[in-house]
Chains A and B, each alone.
Chain A
């Protein structure tokens, strides 16, 4: 049995000090995923550094109108925050569509971004999984892969990222703030999560010992509207089969701002740059929207069991974009 040391950090510096030189240390937020994975033997940390007492639990407005979400803001508090609900409905909706009320009460913003895939092969020590044991193979590639990726996957990994929140953040041009041994740095959320390529064990670009301190949300242009929609197997407490987050501003019949991201389709929140490029600066007719969505999904390569995801994502995106354009 592997003993685990528990450390409660009072500051970012204390947290970093506790992590230094301990490659098997893990920061503990809500623990809703990490503790499950410890029970399964997938995660085997030697130190748990509890960061929930760090002063990172506020949602603050900066002078330039951006919103800074602290790393330890609980999902429930984030979804209910008046400024989030008013300015970024897509984010509030995404959070509320995830997990269950009990889980959202403890899950944190940073923890949500760092949660691991729910791929059943990843969670089962007896199965091959390149994400868990590099070089062991991918059980899902020819296995039960109804829930798996259709975009950006590789022969080494077909897992999806399970977050709803991250999909909304991807559509909103969010920026991840980190503190670390080498000092602070920021990374665009869309660059924070990786595609699997030949090293699916690396979910994100975070470096050993680095700690997410917050997420920065730039202001949306005036008149922009946003929305999140998710398709799932049951009405609550189920991961997205496919989801869409979008923020759109239409002015004078022309798209002036657009951010679109898919969830449930890839190893990371999938920013739909092709869709955006096709629509930005043009008149968003239903035909144009349909073509723009298809342009993104043309790259999809379904697996044996998940071809449905492509048409499901297409219909979700058309509906969400159509409704936002009509409202904007």
Chain B
């Protein structure tokens, strides 16, 4: 007998696929409670200052307008630890696009017109929205995103660099990037007898509930959050964003269910962005390629609302052996929208810089870039000294090289010409940490043979619902058709958010434990099940989040082939290939989709994506999908994603690492390195658009 089609690893189709393609799947603003009305924010049109006065008379005069909420009329919110959610609480304007008022009306069109009719008078102050390498207000933060120390130092990196036989000292720039999930952020909120219900587009309903309960000073039991289907998030929906708070404020104020969807342009200023990063990387090596010094300094911005520091120098603490290192961050608070998580925060811009610099070092050494990486493979995590739970970077590089045809590569750059095209290939490594959070889950065996798994996980389009069903089926020893998985609403067993590539591992651990417990009980018992079935539960608090003696990370290798049009400077990717070592792959179909999705997003970062801040107004401009260029189909070539069979007993009962983010991590560097191989010119500022590449 072959493996069951429901076995973990099988390419099981998304359980909600039919509902999605037929439109039956409901997203946050597709719920229409009776009496539902619409809200539209009034964004600040200045970057710094305060609101002096509002004139809402024209807005209120429009037929169908119910209210215009301002800091004077909106309910007071308690502190929930996230100042980006303190909307309509005071007259301060911390950045362009900050919501200063909110129009509520019977129809969407009226709400929008009313928001446009609100007249706002500002007292403006001079603003600063421009990040520079030597900004006078830049400081060294104690801690960066992810709880990492802002600076780490090993040995004497400056001295080792000065003494190194071969050195590179290079700077890179990554612009602001926007998440732009297909479904914009939106929520439907209603109050019934002091119970708040929200349908939200979020990566974690329990987090939304906890935060709303704090903001509105309610016990959590009086807040209910539904996130049944979510059209992508990439980090921008990781924690509650202002839209859900605004919807809840408006619903409380008007006594009507309120729906609010942010426009594509509003997303860029209200839900976070990947902050721009300026990198300086210094690598020193012996002539044989052995690294003796690694210094990675990252400078970034945050807002004046709260400190968020992209941990761009952190991946360098994981990657390479070598005596001395310094990895440090500087940040400056500017009058800009608050940055936040975007797919592989830290790793993505950090590995772009580090892996580009490694490629530059390989060129300086006259060494193959794969060989250079292999010869600096560390025996343990360089910064912490902890052993790796598993690390198969070298296997990924070797396997990818074989599949890609790397052995035939001519290392010379700028020599492969065909008509106007110069072609080249590049490689880069990737890493992403294994993160885990505690979760609860229950599973019930029903007399009719159905098993129902319950936990408040969120499927943001990744296939979580499907893979949790597979985990349950395997642990129960039944087929997936016998398992129903209920997720996406508070009241189900508490579960962490879908983020940090940790969702499946965290939820799956609890599901696995509950199912193994139930299977044990079923094995011990005879006779029919009670009418209500038999339920087992699990809570991984204390186990899933226990400190591990191991350094746990996924690794990967990216390969890219590009063609550069010498007439125009247009760069087109011809091939992308990734090989990943991410523990056990739980669903071949959805995993491939995640890897490829990450690689496409990395392609966009390399070639087409970049936010622009208008210096005069402090606004992100041109940031709809016509102006902010995510890759089109024509940009995306044949992409291959492979993985190696990695067995790691130090992770979770499934043996899996996260896969949602590692696909993006090294893609931009691989493409940039290929562009150098094609042209012989090193471009160090992304994206690689014709204005930069055309010479």
Which residues of A approach B to under 8 Å, CB–CB? 1-2, 41, 100, 118, 120-121, 123-127, 139, 142-144, 146-147, 231-238, 241, 305-306, 308-309, 311-312, 315-316, 319
Provide the residues of chain A in CB contact with B116, threshold 8 Å. 41, 125
Provide the residues of chain B in CB contact with A41, threshold 8 Å. 116
Cβ of A142 and Cβ of B634 under 8 Å apart? no
Cβ of B110 and Cβ of A127 under 8 Å apart? no
Provide the residues of chain B in CB contact with A306, threshold 8 Å. 691
Closest 4 pairs between A and B when the two form their complex, measured CB to CB: A120-B622, A235-B634, A236-B634, A1-B113
Closest to B109 in A: A1
Known: A118-B626, A235-B572, A315-B568. A146 touches B632 (CB 8 A): no
Cβ of B690 and Cβ of A241 under 8 Å apart? yes
Chain A nearest CB: distance from B423 CB in Å? Answer: 16
B616 within 8 A of A: yes
Provide the residues of chain A in CB contact with B43, threshold 8 Å. 126
B62 within 8 A of A: yes
- SS class, residues of chain B in contact with chain A: loop
Provide the residues of chain A in CB contact with B62, threshold 8 Å. 1
Cβ of B568 and Cβ of A143 under 8 Å apart? no
Cβ of B614 and Cβ of A144 under 8 Å apart? yes
B26 within 8 A of A: no
Which residues of B approach A to under 8 Å, CB–CB? 43, 45, 62, 64, 107, 109-110, 112-114, 116, 420, 567-570, 572, 607-608, 612-617, 619, 621-622, 626-627, 629, 631-635, 687, 689-692, 694-695
Cβ of B567 and Cβ of A234 under 8 Å apart? no
Known: A124-B619, A126-B45. A236 touches B632 (CB 8 A): yes
Cβ of B633 and Cβ of A236 under 8 Å apart? yes
5 contacts between A and B (CB under 8 A): A232-B690, A233-B608, A233-B690, A236-B632, A308-B569
Cβ of B632 and Cβ of A1 under 8 Å apart? no
Provide the residues of chain B in CB contact with A308, threshold 8 Å. 569, 690-692, 694
Known: A124-B619, A312-B569, A315-B694. A238 touches B113 (CB 8 A): no
Provide the residues of chain B in CB contact with A309, threshold 8 Å. 691
Q: Which of A120, A235, A305 contacts B632 (CB 8 A)?
A: A235
Closest to A147 in B: B622
Cβ of A238 and Cβ of B621 under 8 Å apart? no
Q: A139-B617, A231-B569, A235-B632 are in contact. List 13 more A-B contacts (CB 8 A).
A: A100-B632, A120-B627, A126-B45, A143-B614, A231-B568, A231-B570, A231-B690, A235-B572, A235-B635, A236-B632, A308-B691, A308-B694, A309-B691
Provide the residues of chain B in CB contact with A142, threshold 8 Å. 615-616
Chain B nearest CB: distance from A281 CB in Å? Answer: 27
Closest to B627 in A: A120
Closest to A100 in B: B632
Cβ of B633 and Cβ of A233 under 8 Å apart? no
Give the interface centre of B116, B420, B612, B691 by most chain A CB atoms within 10 Å: B691
Q: Give complex CA distance A231, B693 in Å.
A: 12
Q: Give complex CA distance A7, B310 in Å.
A: 53
Cβ of A139 and Cβ of B614 under 8 Å apart? yes
Q: Give complex CA distance A319, B566 in Å.
A: 11
Q: Which of A127, A233, A236 contacts B617 (CB 8 A)?
A: A127
Q: Give complex CA distance A146, B607 in Å.
A: 16
Q: Give complex CA distance A2, B113 in Å.
A: 8
Provide the residues of chain B in CB contact with A237, threshold 8 Å. 626, 632, 634
Q: Which of B569, B615, B692 contacts A143 (CB 8 A)?
A: B615
Cβ of B570 and Cβ of A232 under 8 Å apart? yes
Provide the residues of chain B in CB contact with A1, threshold 8 Å. 62, 64, 107, 109-110, 112-114
Q: Give complex CA distance A42, B609 in Å.
A: 26
Closest to A231 in B: B568
Provide the residues of chain A in CB contact with B45, threshold 8 Å. 126
Chain B nearest CB: distance from A5 CB in Å? Answer: 15
Provide the residues of chain A in CB contact with B634, threshold 8 Å. 234-237
Cβ of B690 and Cβ of A144 under 8 Å apart? no
Cβ of A316 and Cβ of B690 under 8 Å apart? no
Q: Give complex CA distance A316, B567 in Å.
A: 6
Provide the residues of chain B in CB contact with A319, threshold 8 Å. 420, 567
Q: Give complex CA distance A144, B622 in Å.
A: 9
Provide the residues of chain A in CB contact with B617, threshold 8 Å. 126-127, 139
Provide the residues of chain A in CB contact with B615, threshold 8 Å. 142-144
Chain B nearest CB: distance from A103 CB in Å? Answer: 10
Q: Give complex CA distance A100, B691 in Å.
A: 23
Cβ of A233 and Cβ of B622 under 8 Å apart? no
Q: Give complex CA distance A326, B689 in Å.
A: 30
Closest to B570 in A: A231
Known: A118-B626, A126-B617. A315 touches B635 (CB 8 A): no
Closest to B623 in A: A120
Q: Give complex CA distance A117, B107 in Å.
A: 30
Q: Give complex CA distance A319, B626 in Å.
A: 28
Chain A nearest CB: distance from B521 CB in Å? Answer: 55
Closest to A320 in B: B567
Cβ of B627 and Cβ of A234 under 8 Å apart? no
Cβ of A236 and Cβ of B635 under 8 Å apart? yes
Cβ of A234 and Cβ of B621 under 8 Å apart? no
Closest to B691 in A: A308
Q: Which of B627, B635, B692, B694 contacts A118 (CB 8 A)?
A: B627
Known: A124-B621, A139-B614, A144-B622. A233 touches B569 (CB 8 A): no
